[in-house]
Structure 1
Amino acid sequence: MTTALRAMTQLSSWPDLAEAPPSCGTGRALRSAGAEIAHFHSDHSVDLHLTARAIRRFQDELKNSTAVRLDPDSDWVTIHLDCDSDIDLLLTLASVALQVHQEQPDPDGAKSGCCNGR
């Protein structure tokens, strides 16, 4: 089982997430009631809809992680999944993403644009 599949299996068991078609049309996605949260594009990569606000809040920590790639024009971060600690990082950041989306729901679902896997 790949790291991405293990991560998706864990996240899809969360009650606030459900599998859905990705808006970008590639791979598999998980969404909450108000927004797409994660796009799994490969066996070792996931884009997470963290939001600009959360990225700014954790920017220093995210920049220091070798598993995270930031795109300055995106509300999504890409997480490279090589090992269990990368999955743990994804789960932690997915929890943050869910909290942010629940506090400030996006009425358009995902108006912040497409994931980084464009």
Structure 2
Amino acid sequence: MTPAQSAFERLHAWPDLTTGPASCGTGRALRSVRDEIVHFHSDRDVDLHLTQRAIQRFHYDLGGSSAIRLVPGSRWVTVHLDCDADVDLLLSLVSIALKAHQARPPADLPPSGCNHERVTVLPRSCAGEV
């Protein structure tokens, strides 16, 4: 089972998430009642929809992870899943995303689209990473 399949199976069991096609046209999505939260594009690459406020709050932490890629101006972050630690990171970030979307003010604009095909992530070793 690939890391993305493992993450999808674990997240699919969450009661606040339902599955469907990704709005970008590539892969599967998990969504809350309000928004798409996660796009599974491949066996390793996932886009996670955070609010602008959540990205600003966790910007330094997100930028410090070799599993995460940020695109300036995007409300999506790309998570590259190479190992179990990356899956655990994604699950934690999905929890943050769900909470952020529930608290999002109605005036907060929807995202312009996920990062699919706007980010290139090279494989890396997970040994010793946190």
Matched residue type, 1:111? P
Tell me the C-alpha RMSD between the 2 structures.
Answer: 1.7
1:90 Cα offset (Å): 0.2
* Equivalent position SS for 1:46: strand
1:66 Cα offset (Å): 0.2
Q: What corresponds to 1:26 in structure 2?
A: 26
* TM-score using structure 2 length: 0.85
Identity %: 58
* Equivalent position SS for 1:112: coil
Q: What corresponds to 1:62 in structure 2?
A: 62
Q: What corresponds to 2:52 in structure 1?
A: 52
Measure the CA separation in 1 of the matches of 2:13 and 2:116: 24
1:111 Cα offset (Å): 2.2
Q: 1:77 to 1:70 in 2, by over 3 A?
A: same
Q: Structure 2: give runs of 5+ residues left out of the alignment.
A: 118-130
Q: 1:62 to 1:116 in 2, by over 3 A?
A: same
Measure the CA separation in 2 of the matches of 1:105 and 1:22: 24
How many pairs were matched up?
117
* TM-score using structure 1 length: 0.93
Q: 1:55 to 1:16 in 2, by over 3 A?
A: same
Measure the CA separation in 2 of the matches of 1:99 and 1:111: 16
Asked if the contact 1:35–1:106 (Cα under 8 Å) also holds between the matched residues in 2, the reply is no
Matched, 1:112 2:95: no
Query: Which protein has the larger Cα radius of gyration, Structure 1 or Structure 2?
Result: 2
Matched residue type, 2:73? D
1:103 Cα offset (Å): 1.2
Runs (4 or more) in structure 1 with deviation over 3 Å come to: 105-108
Measure the CA separation in 2 of the matches of 1:106 and 1:29: 22
Measure the CA separation in 1 of the matches of 2:103 and 2:38: 18
